Amino acid sequence: MKEKTPNTKVIIISRYGDEDVANKAVQVGADAFISKPINPTELLEVIKGTS
């Protein structure tokens, strides 16, 4: 996805908040990892790029 549209934000959302999984997701290209339950403020910050 990033190759075709590099400006696309990739946000991984999971019910598992494991730090290792989050780090791996970012290492392979995700812009952010958010665990459930989702904090709407945090999600909005990630989308806007202020996080």
The domain total for the chain is 1
Per DSSP, which regions of the chain are E strands? Answer: 11-14, 32-35
Give the pLDDT band (50/70/90) at residue 44: very high
Q: Is the residue at 5 inside a domain?
A: no
Cα(23)–Cα(3) distance, integer angstroms? 20
Q: Domain range for residue 44?
A: 11-48
Q: Is the residue at 4 inside a domain?
A: no
Say if CB 47 and CB 9 are below 8 A apart.
yes
Give the pLDDT band (50/70/90) at residue 50: low
Q: Is the residue at 2 inside a domain?
A: no
Q: Is the residue at 28 inside a domain?
A: yes
Q: Is the residue at 23 inside a domain?
A: yes
Q: Which of 6, 9, 16, 49 is nearest to 30 (CA)?
A: 9
Q: What does the pLDDT read at residue 3?
A: 84
Higher-confidence residue: 38 or 50?
Answer: 38
Q: What is the mean pLDDT of residues 31-46?
A: 90
Q: Is the residue at 1 inside a domain?
A: no
Q: Is the residue at 15 inside a domain?
A: yes
Q: Is the residue at 26 inside a domain?
A: yes
Residues 1-20 have pLDDT tens digits of 788 888 888 898 888 767 88
